[in-house]
Amino acid sequence: MTDAVTDKKVTICIEAPFVDGATNIFSQRLMFLQHGFKAQTSDDQETMTLSNPSIVEIPHPRKTLAVLQTSTQLTSSLKLWHLRFAQANWQTIKEMDEKGLVKGMMLARSERKLKRSCYNCDMAKMKRMSFRNTSPKRPTLPFRKVYMDLGFIQPQSLEGYTMYLHLIDEGSRFQWFYGQRSKDETVGRLRDFRDLIKAKHQKLVQVFHFDQGTAFMNTEVAKQLAELYSCGLPDMVWDEAASYAIATINQTSTKGNKDNLTPFQKVFGTAPSVRHLLSFGCLALKFVDKVNRASKLSRRGAPTLMVGYASKTKGYRLLDLNTGTISEHRRQNVKFYEQTTVASEYVEKLLDMVYRLRRRPDLDSSKLPFVSLPVSEVPAANDDEASEKAFAPEGLCIGRAQHFSVGNDINGTANANDVE
């Protein structure tokens, strides 16, 4: 290097690790981008001169060299360039100057380190804050928060319910369903539910949250309607279909829990057993006790329909096709026929006589119109049946009602004269 005062060459020692090939210990590019100096090398490659338009030499009487830093172009503020670039982003303007992407910007070093804000830009970019970002994290432990939904539904159920109370535990997605006759029962239901959780799980429900919406009820209603459509039962058994749907939802995997655990496993800690699950509305034969038989020749079984699971015992809720009443029975005392049910016309007439007309049914239960379950389904295009269905109209395949006499087998074997 050459000393600017004595014009003598000065040797500067720089320690730098050398590897195979040349090592760059002086970057002309960085000197220009960061400091504005342009490097010029002499013809003998021994002298390199750094020049900057903002540095000029001023003569002095003494043999000294005074250096004054000035600029032919005044440095501009970041705020000014922000206005010139039509409210461009602050960081974009800084990068343009630092990387030399444009010429003539000349930002001061102090301006590059500042964090600016623009009142007009903030006003133009104002947005309504989303509630999703402010909602707290959903608890993962059961019974921290329980959502509740109270609604009306028609027609009146067999038990006289015109309202429902639907509860969902946010931590486990476990659900409960209660039928109600009026709003006055809600407070008592919640107290009983709180006591049930405390006695059964030794935990206390911390928060009851009323959602004021029907979002989490839609799935349950859809399942309830699907069960009614599948078996053809009348709408007045909606409470039984809802309880059945809730019981199956609690044993179904859900994305709301980690690792897609079922709500049952989240609450009780073990995987649920689904061996007892049956199709809603399927045909069943329940055992008739001796005290209810007229003689030894009386039937030992009575035809029923499965309309749900028992709440307090390991059994099922059965709709008696003779009396129209619903009772709970153990699994060992019932025989099921899952692919068979009874025509909806018979069930509607039976329930209408018992619950609306309030009189004893006079239907002949010895000849029941059995149909396949589900009662409505899209026909499968089998190869053997393709020729038979070639000229048949497209549509739903409705199960045909078959009437069986008393002596015939319940599975559907009957004489030709017995089928209508």
For residue 316, pLDDT beyond 90: yes
Does 275-420 match 141-274 at the fold level? no
Distance of CA 98 to the CA centre of its chain: 47
Look at residues 307, 88, 202 and name the one whose alpha carbon lies nearest to residue 97. Answer: 88
Q: How confident is the model at residue 15 (pLDDT cuts 50, 70, 90)?
A: low
- 55, pLDDT greater than 60: no
Q: What is the C-alpha separation between 183 and 291, in angstroms, rounded?
A: 41
Residue extents of the structural domains in the chain:
1-72, 78-129, 141-274, 275-420
Examine the pLDDT at 403 and tell me if it is beyond 60.
no
pLDDT for res 259 = 83
Q: What pLDDT does residue 285 have? A: 93
For position 291, what pLDDT does the model report?
Answer: 80
In this structure, what token pair is assigned to residue 336? 């099921």
Residue 39 to residue 50: CA distance in whole angstroms: 5
* Alpha-carbon gap, residue 392 to 36, rounded angstroms: 89
Cα torsion for 301, 307, 312, 314, to the nearest 10°?
60
Mean pLDDT check: name the lowest of 21-35, 36-50, 245-259.
21-35
pTM over 0.75: no
Per-residue pLDDT at 65: 55
Query: Which amino acid is residue 308, in one-letter code?
Result: G
The answer to whether residue 405 scores a pLDDT higher than 50 is: no
Sheet with strand 283-287: strands edge to edge: 326-330, 315-320, 301-309, 283-287, 334-337
Quote the CA–CA distance of 394 and 372 in Å, as a whole number. 20
pLDDT in tens, 260-301: 889 999 999 999 988 899 989 999 999 988 887 878 777 888
Determine the pLDDT at residue 409.
42
Q: E strands along 243-339, which residues? A: 283-287, 301-309, 315-320, 326-330, 334-337
The listed CATH number (2.30.40.10, 2.30.30.140, 3.40.1080.10, 2.60.40.10) that belongs to domain 275-420: 2.30.30.140
From 124-128, 211-215, 274-278, 311-315, the region with the lowest mean pLDDT: 211-215
Render pLDDT for 89-105 as a digit per residue (tens, 0 to 9).
888 888 888 888 888 78
Q: Which residue has the tokens 């608890």?
A: 139
- In the CATH scheme, what is the homologous superfamily, with its name and number, of domain 141-274? Ribonuclease H-like superfamily/Ribonuclease H (3.30.420.10)
